[in-house]
């Protein structure tokens, strides 16, 4: 007689996941070794997430700076293709995103499905703008002389992004995509209490065509990472959306950003309605305009 083990699923122990950070295309543990418990909207255990430290924030900035040259130097068409590939991979993990959004935000499954589909569609929308943005925000300027005068948009550099604290996926995509589509690299501080969709998005980025370091994700408390990002001398701009409603914290971060004249997207009074059309404003926020003169006929 041959002994065959039986599977008794009802007796299995829960596999409690402990997720890591996403920095430079890899998934390192927090430098401090700390993690925290993530609960669903009803207070039930979901997973453990890494608690990023100030050192992790500095490492993420370094990774973003290293990736900036290659990403900003890629053609706009190529960046659009890469973002479209991210949307394709997200579509393949649609059900997982739905489960995580529903659990994190405490919404019904149909509503979570609509939110996830909107996030994927938004990424496709931004991908389509990649090779059209320069024509819309750039210009050919009239001058009194035998010259062409062009205004050409260029990426700002490394952008720190405080992600929305409530909208765990649609809001996240809505603040990250406009940063990277225009050639910037990003260091993102995710929602502290709803980080799982952000972590899964990082798994999507790692298995698509996004070069390591273009997007770096820090989980944990904004109090541990945001001041470092706001004051970091190698961060060129910061989006304070995640500090919405916390005027004191947002003001302190704005003051810290002054030291190297960062571009600052100020925190709104309350978190925006992410289902509305995003428009071009966020893409314009993190662009520099370069003026080029060229003699006619040369």
The residues, any chain, with a CB within 8 Å of residue 124's CB and separated by 6 or more, are 83, 84, 87
Q: Is the CATH code 3.40.605.10 the one for domain 19-295? A: yes
Q: Give the whole-angstrom CA distance, residue 106 versus residue 109.
A: 9
Q: Where along the chain do its domains lie?
A: 19-295
Report yes or no: 288 and 151 within 8 Å, Cβ to Cβ.
no
User: What pLDDT is recorded for position 9?
Assistant: 53
Q: What is the pLDDT of residues 69-109, one digit of tens each?
A: 999 999 999 999 999 999 999 999 999 999 999 999 999 99
Mean pLDDT of 158-177: 97
Q: Measured in Å, how far apart are the chain's first and last C-alpha atoms?
A: 90
Tokens of 51: 């608690």
The residues, any chain, with a CB within 8 Å of residue 186's CB and separated by 6 or more, are 64, 158, 159, 160, 161, 176, 179, 180, 214, 215, 216
Grade residue 293 by pLDDT with cuts at 50, 70 and 90: confident
Q: What is the pLDDT of residues 20-49, one digit of tens each?
A: 999 999 999 999 999 999 999 889 999 999
User: What pLDDT is recorded for position 15?
Assistant: 77
User: What pLDDT is recorded for position 177?
Assistant: 97
Bridge partners, residue 290, by sequence: 152
Q: What is the pLDDT of residues 221-270, one digit of tens each?
A: 999 999 999 999 999 999 999 999 899 999 999 999 999 999 999 999 99
User: What pLDDT is recorded for position 3?
Assistant: 52
Q: What is the pLDDT of residues 116-131, one digit of tens each?
A: 999 999 999 999 999 9
Predicted TM-score (pTM) of the model is: 0.91
The CA-CA-CA angle for residues 135, 138, 143, to 5°, reads: 125
Q: What is the pLDDT of residues 197-225, one digit of tens each?
A: 999 999 999 999 999 999 999 999 999 99
User: What pLDDT is recorded for position 10?
Assistant: 62
Q: Give the whole-angstrom CA distance, residue 298 versus residue 279.
A: 38
Q: Give the whole-angstrom CA distance, residue 114 versus residue 268.
A: 24
Report yes or no: 187 and 160 within 8 Å, Cβ to Cβ.
yes
Question: Pick from 201, 197, 219: which is nearest to 210 by CA?
Answer: 201
Report yes or no: 104 and 194 within 8 Å, Cβ to Cβ.
yes
Grade residue 289 by pLDDT with cuts at 50, 70 and 90: confident
């Amino acid at each position: 007689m041959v002994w065959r083990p039986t599977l008794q699923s009802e007796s299995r122990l829960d596999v409690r996941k402990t997720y890591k950070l996403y920095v430079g295309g890899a998934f390192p543990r927090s430098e401090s070794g700390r993690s925290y418990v993530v609960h669903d909207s009803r207070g039930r255990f979901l997973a453990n997430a890494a608690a990023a430290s100030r050192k992790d924030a500095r490492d993420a900035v370094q990774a973003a700076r290293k990736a900036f040259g290659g990403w900003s130097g890629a053609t706009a068409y190529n960046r659009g293709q890469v973002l479209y590939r991210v949307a394709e991979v997200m579509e393949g993990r649609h059900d997982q995103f739905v489960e995580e959004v529903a659990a994190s935000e405490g919404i019904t499954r149909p509503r979570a499905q609509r939110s996830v589909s909107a996030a994927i569609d938004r990424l496709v929308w931004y991908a389509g703008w990649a090779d059209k943005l320069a024509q819309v925000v750039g210009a050919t300027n009239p001058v009194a002389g035998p010259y062409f005068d062009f205004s050409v948009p260029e990426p700002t550099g490394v952008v720190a992004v405080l992600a929305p604290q409530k909208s765990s996926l649609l809001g996240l995509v809505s603040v990250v995509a406009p940063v990277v589509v225009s050639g910037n690299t990003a260091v993102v501080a995710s929602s502290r209490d709803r980080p799982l969709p952000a972590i899964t998005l990082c798994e999507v980025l790692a298995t698509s065509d996004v070069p390591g370091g273009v997007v770096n994700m820090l989980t944990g408390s904004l109090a541990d990472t945001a001041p470092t990002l706001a004051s970091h001398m190698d961060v060129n701009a910061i989006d304070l959306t995640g500090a919405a409603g916390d005027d004191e914290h947002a003001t302190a971060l704005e003051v810290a950003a002054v030291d190297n004249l960062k571009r600052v997207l100020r925190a709104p009074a309350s978190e925006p309605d992410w289902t509305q059309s995003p428009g071009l404003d966020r893409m314009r926020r993190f662009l520099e305009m370069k003026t080029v003169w060229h003699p006619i006929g040369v």
